[in-house]
Amino acid sequence: MKKNQIVILIVFIVAVALVILSANRTGSSPSENNSNILAGSANGTGTLVAVESFYDLGTISMSAGKVSRVFKITNTGTGQVFVKKIYTSCMCTTATLTTKEGAAGPFGMPGHEAIPTIFRTIASNEEASIEAIFDPAAHGPAGVGRVRRSIYIETDSQKEPLELVFEANVTS
């Protein structure tokens, strides 16, 4: 390689490293940052809370099929909230978000399927819902007993995801 080619390669590598470091510092990729800007997420003053963050499904049978529970969430902050990601703690559970913009999902467990970045707006004082669907037969005969599953909702304005939890006693 010629000296000029080596210099150009080094400059390129340094530029890529700076972009990666900048994205890691903000906690999102450059494309996510652009999406936030395009969506108008400048203030991040919304606060997403659950009317009910825990629910006990009681005793459910594997043979009865899937069970669902709808959790209501509300933006209690002064600004809008952008929901970025929704994912679950187990492959036996999926979650669908419904806002005034319509439904998004279902979303599942990271590692078992891709968890796409979404940008759904929830205005101040607006309510939305998360439908959790649990398949008690997903783990087969070994899946009997008490289970606890979570749904996580990441937003542009909260450092920690909002967690919705349900429990059930699974029988065969």
State whether 10 and 93 are in the same domain.
no
Report residue 125 as tokens.
């004082």
- pLDDT tens-digit series, residues 68-81: 999 999 999 999 99
Q: Which helix (H) or strand (E) holds 6?
A: helix 3-26
The residue range of the domain holding 30 is 3-39
State whether 77 and 105 are in the same domain.
yes
State whether 59 and 35 are in the same domain.
no
Reply yes or no on whether the pLDDT at 41 is more than 80.
Answer: no
Q: For 131-136, what is the mean pLDDT?
A: 97
State whether 103 and 163 are in the same domain.
yes
Question: What residues form DSSP beta bridges with 153?
Answer: 86, 162
How many structural domains does the chain have? 2
State whether 94 and 128 are in the same domain.
yes
> Is pTM, for the whole model, over 0.95?
no
Q: For 135-164, what is the mean pLDDT?
A: 95
State whether 77 and 10 are in the same domain.
no
